[in-house]
Structure 1
Amino acid sequence: MNQKVSIITPTYNSERFIKATIQSVLSQTYTNWELLIIDDASTDGTLEIINGFISKQKNINVLQNQVNQGAAVSRNLGIKKASGDFIAFLDSDDLWKPSKLEKQVEFMIKHNIDVCFSSYDLMDENGKLLYKTVKALPKLTYKKFLKCNYIGNLTGMYNAGTLGKVYSPNLLKRQDWLIWLKAVEKSKKPTMGIEEPLAIYRVRKKSISSNKINMLKYNYLVYRKGLGFSVPKSISSLMVFLYEYFFVKSKQTVTSQMK
């Protein structure tokens, strides 16, 4: 497997977490990668930590926004500069397990697919494992994906060689869901999930999922602005989302057997 993977990591004031995130990339058993970190005008020590890695690692590069522009703009800058055959995303507070890239690239080549994702484990804000796993669906259709976001952004990978570069709409939140919706819609091949958890998601107190009112607002905007649905269709889609989220997707989070 000689395919190069471009890893896109937007960051803003992430000095508490960015070191561990970068180290999880350095620990990958798959070595043909580039890490593009886009600093969104951080005001803390984030950039200093990143530069400490860059001085030692030739395949880590940092891009800087002169003013804070948000995750969508930052991700798109990284995608534009990416040179890999595959593109993957890792937010600056999440972690990858060491075999993540190796197993995912091998899986995509074996099954000849354009979009792939995996299960992932959960940890709290301080990095303590919660012994819970969000299980990936074995297969995901665009119709099913419209109902709810079934791809954890930290686990997703798409083939830029076959799909071209898939960019993010400029929404404040949930733009990652729209990237994957575009990729799944564009691909004429099955979208498949890997059952094994290959990443660890950090549950933050201020995250969207912890605030149900904000979740409703931003998911409505995915349908209305991101996908261009009419107001009635956006509202009906949001109702479908609520059912899917609380009565279907919630069953994917299971007690982990990790020790």
Structure 2
Amino acid sequence: MSLSPRISVIMPVFNGVRTIERAVASVRRQAFANWELIAIDDGSSDGSGRILARLACEEDRIQIISNEINSGASAARNRGLRSASGDVITYLDCDDEYYEGFFGLVDRFSDRADVLVFGYDYVNDDAEGSPVSTWDPTPYRGLLFSRNLMTPLGVAHRRTLLADKEAFDENLWISEDWDLWKRMARAGSEFLYLPFRSGLYHIRADSLTRAPRITRRQEATYQSRWQAGETLYPSSEVCIPHSAIQRVAFASPYSCISRGANLPAAGMYLLWLLRSEGIDGQAFGTTYLDGTAWVEIEDVQAGLGLPHRTERAVLPPFFADVNYSVYQTIPVTTLKRHLAQTGTATEEYLDFIIAAFFKQFVGNYRPDCVVTHGDGELSKSYVNIAKYYDIPVVILLDEPGARPLDILNGADYLVTFSESKRDLFWKQHQVACHALPIPEQHLSPERGRPDARIRQILDFFRGIRRQSGPSFTPS
């Protein structure tokens, strides 16, 4: 075995007796021979360790590390990384497999970027006769911060990127790989998307992705941090400096100029409090008033005595009437719901157009944080757009009804309005909220500014950072 392998393969194993040999065989058949495979037996109870020991006896480029108890995928990978000596790191789960020639491609391109991103094929092992499909992340390269574009199977990176730094976040129970890719990007690493496939990704019902497991240490950490009123993830590596929290945007699927709807009123009062303490705020909404009906926003503004103007805005190929006003000292941009669009548009298509104008709003305003609410498609679009710009997202929650994971998964913080509701969200859904004293109904600024309320809200927003994972655990 070479004293200095070019490629180090990190393979965590947990009860993989049925697939280990296939995975290892895909490494051994690589024509590029200067590699090492570090397999971490993460507390398996099915005989995986014995298979690994036999394979290591057959192949001196295989190194085995054994954990007595299951520590989770992140901890297992990190232990393997600490033993790696190759110039380039690749990853292989014990139920997946590389294609022949993959290591040759890694060696060929590894000097051209810090991180190489490959496509891969995938197949559903649980569905007999399932076809093999292909995932190519290249067309979506600009969406790294808003969605997980690649699995570890499709990534190779320089080992030096992890020198003296935290690799996989061991507190995470899901998307720990995505968290690492984002941190690499924020640190300035160069990503190169290649038109090649790394291997075959096997989808199985008992895989970590589809059946995530929480270790005892993770569960204890989540419980203690929730009880202390903190976020679930203690890492502050990507903390935004306090001085950087200068602009907060509130985005509502409803009208922001409303005296009735709880969450829009709460969001606007929140902006008013922050603005009164020197943090700028702007709001973006629609003409859907109080979540009940579409209205002529100018009539509402006239009734409240608000100055306003409406202009025709063009965002090719779309155009719409955009209303501008100031409500409770907050600049409000309202996209009129009856968009000037040829033909009849569906609700989904109208939401798409609104989201396109919101993206322009965010791109121009560049807030340091986006606050939103709701669980519909438009609210999801607000979250995805904020994440496109790598902006932290705060979601306001009212009552703990169904658990809308699609939108919660994109939030950095979840906020509700009392300790009792915070308890309900945790007990019913394992959703970790912060309780902030924001009024749920309209409250005019003239009614005063409780100092304790301001201090608590300001402290929360000044401590905002991009979170490494979702604010919930598997129910």
Q: Which TM-score band (shorter chain)? A: 0.7 to 0.9
**C-alpha displacement of 1:131:** 2.5
The answer to whether the Cα contact below 8 Å between 2:168 and 2:177 also exists between their aligned partners in 1 is yes
Q: Which of structure 1's runs of 4+ aligned residues deviate more than 6 A? A: 126-129, 226-231, 233-238
3-state SS in 1 of match to 2:110 = helix
Q: Residues of 2 paired with 1:124 and 1:68: CA distance?
A: 26
- Pick aligned residue for 1:29 from 28, 31, 36: 31
- Pick aligned residue for 1:99 from 95, 98, 101: 101
Instruction: State how 1:1-259 maps to structure 2 within 5 Å.
Output: 4-109=6-111, 112-125=112-125, 130-137=131-138, 140=141, 144-161=143-160, 164=163, 167-170=167-170, 171-189=172-190, 191-207=191-207, 225=233, 232=371, 239-240=383-384
Q: CA separation of 1:128/1:98 partners in 2, compared to 1, >3 Å: closer, same or farther?
A: farther
Amino acid at match of 1:202: H
* Identity value in percent: 25
3-state SS in 2 of match to 1:154 = helix
Q: Which runs of 5+ in 2 are unaligned?
A: 212-230, 241-368, 388-405, 410-475
Q: CA separation of 1:74/1:210 partners in 2, compared to 1, >3 Å: closer, same or farther?
A: closer
Q: TM-score, normalised by structure 2?
A: 0.43
3-state SS in 2 of match to 1:16 = coil
Aligned residues between the structures: 227
3-state SS in 1 of match to 2:80 = helix
The answer to whether the Cα contact below 8 Å between 1:136 and 1:194 also exists between their aligned partners in 2 is no
Q: CA separation of 1:234/1:163 partners in 2, compared to 1, >3 Å: closer, same or farther?
A: farther
As a proportion of its length, which structure holds more helix?
Answer: 1
3-state SS in 2 of match to 1:147 = coil
Q: CA separation of 1:26/1:150 partners in 2, compared to 1, >3 Å: closer, same or farther?
A: same
Q: CA separation of 1:84/1:97 partners in 2, compared to 1, >3 Å: closer, same or farther?
A: same
The answer to whether the Cα contact below 8 Å between 1:140 and 1:192 also exists between their aligned partners in 2 is no
- RMSD over aligned Cα atoms: 3.3
The answer to whether the Cα contact below 8 Å between 2:41 and 2:65 also exists between their aligned partners in 1 is yes
3-state SS in 1 of match to 2:95 = coil
Amino acid at match of 2:205: K
**C-alpha displacement of 1:22:** 0.3
Q: Residues of 2 paired with 1:98 and 1:116: CA distance?
A: 17
The answer to whether the Cα contact below 8 Å between 1:114 and 1:187 also exists between their aligned partners in 2 is no
The answer to whether the Cα contact below 8 Å between 2:5 and 2:36 also exists between their aligned partners in 1 is no
Q: CA separation of 1:177/1:3 partners in 2, compared to 1, >3 Å: closer, same or farther?
A: same
3-state SS in 1 of match to 2:32 = coil
3-state SS in 2 of match to 1:195 = strand
Q: Residues of 2 paired with 1:208 and 1:42: CA distance?
A: 14
Q: Residues of 2 paired with 1:129 and 1:105: CA distance?
A: 33
Q: CA separation of 1:15/1:166 partners in 2, compared to 1, >3 Å: closer, same or farther?
A: same
1:253 corresponds in structure 2 to: none
Q: CA separation of 1:239/1:138 partners in 2, compared to 1, >3 Å: closer, same or farther?
A: closer
Q: Residues of 2 paired with 1:178 and 1:39: CA distance?
A: 23
Amino acid at match of 1:199: G
Q: Residues of 1 paired with 2:109 and 2:140: CA distance?
A: 13
**C-alpha displacement of 1:158:** 0.7
Amino acid at match of 1:93: D
